[in-house]
């Protein structure tokens, strides 16, 4: 049985990986507070070594995008230094490291879809710290897979889908940004990809399986389009109808700059691993079904 160690105990991805691991007969060991503190990377080594992993997944992160603008040092320790330390530990244990990164490493001003050959130029502290994590990983091990994802949602934790449904309970209409485009990505689909990649890199030392890949749901939309789809699916299940007013980013200012273009190409992942995530409307329907069942 493959033994997977993943950082995080209450997040969307680690919860999804744990659930899928149980279905597939893969042992998934989640580590988080109080056993580790990502703001103190030195706390990582003992718990990781004790778990005797075949592969390490770096999932937990500092994700408060706006708050990071006023807490850059804390964000850098968690998003930059901690992944670098995990890479050092992975190299010492001679096991692969899988790491989740973000669309925010790009500025979002490209006309087309971003691929892995595009040069990262973060426009926010959050994006800069996630890029620092990517670079520290590459500096500490060659046996890594970095998977950049975006717009993550699931039945677990805090995310856009659950926020829309919660706020919509008390509002008849909502203003949602319509000039930021991206690829909504379902955490259980991320889990499926992570465990598929993990099994392959554990079994095969081929360098082409390593490196940076993009991992997002198929298709694209705007936040407003995503919100409209959420409420449409909710209505099908007896939920309340909510009107979405499409607004611009300038009408909803935030401390951190968001990428206007968060679209990531999954062609490389499909070519190397044969992996392609479901179209986001399909996964959204699955998410609403799961939420309805809870």
Catalytic residues: 126
Which H or E run includes 288? helix 280-293
CA 137 to chain centre: 17
CA 112 to chain centre: 21
- Residue 83 and residue 133 in contact, taking contact as beta carbons nearer than 8 Å: yes
Q: Give dist(CA 114, CA 254) in Å, integer.
A: 24
CA separation, residue 132 to residues 138, 195, 230 (Å) = 10, 25, 34
Q: What DSSP character marks residue 247?
A: E
| Crossing angle (nearest 10°) for helices 187-203 and 280-293 | 110
- Residue 149 and residue 185 in contact, taking contact as beta carbons nearer than 8 Å: yes
Q: What angle do CA 90, 192, 164 make, to 5 degrees?
A: 110
Q: What DSSP character marks residue 119?
A: P
Q: Give dist(CA 72, CA 64) in Å, integer.
A: 11
């Amino acid at each position: 049985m493959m033994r997977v160690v993943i950082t995080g105990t209450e997040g969307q991805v680690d919860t999804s990986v744990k659930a899928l691991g149980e279905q597939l007969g893969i042992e998934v060991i989640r580590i988080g507070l109080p056993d580790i503190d990502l703001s103190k990377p030195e706390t990582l080594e003992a718990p990781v070594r004790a778990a005797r992993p075949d592969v390490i997944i770096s999932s937990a992160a500092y994700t408060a995008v706006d708050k990071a603008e006023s807490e850059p040092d804390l964000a850098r320790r968690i998003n930059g230094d901690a992944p670098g330390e995990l890479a050092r530990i992975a190299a010492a244990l001679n096991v692969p490291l899988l790491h989740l990164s973000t669309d925010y490493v790009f500025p979002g001003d490209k006309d087309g879809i971003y691929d892995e050959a595009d040069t990262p130029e973060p426009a926010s502290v959050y994006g800069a710290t996630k890029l620092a994590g990517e670079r520290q990983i590459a500096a500490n091990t060659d046996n890594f897979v970095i998977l950049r994802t975006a717009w993550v949602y699931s039945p677990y934790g805090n995310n856009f889908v659950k926020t829309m449904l919660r706020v919509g309970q008390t509002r008849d209409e909502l203003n949602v940004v319509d000039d930021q485009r991206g690829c909504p990505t379902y955490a259980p689909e991320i889990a499926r990809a992570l465990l598929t990649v993990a099994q392959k890199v554990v079994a095969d030392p081929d360098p082409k399986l390593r490196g940076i890949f993009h991992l997002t749901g198929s298709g694209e939309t705007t936040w407003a389009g995503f919100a409209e789809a959420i409420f449409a699916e909710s209505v099908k299940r007896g939920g309340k109808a909510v009107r979405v007013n499409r607004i611009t980013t300038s009408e909803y200012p935030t401390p951190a700059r968001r990428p206007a273009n968060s679209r990531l190409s999954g062609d490389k992942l499909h070519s190397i691993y044969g992996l392609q995530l479901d179209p986001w409307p399909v996964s959204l329907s699955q998410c609403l079904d799961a939420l309805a069942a809870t």
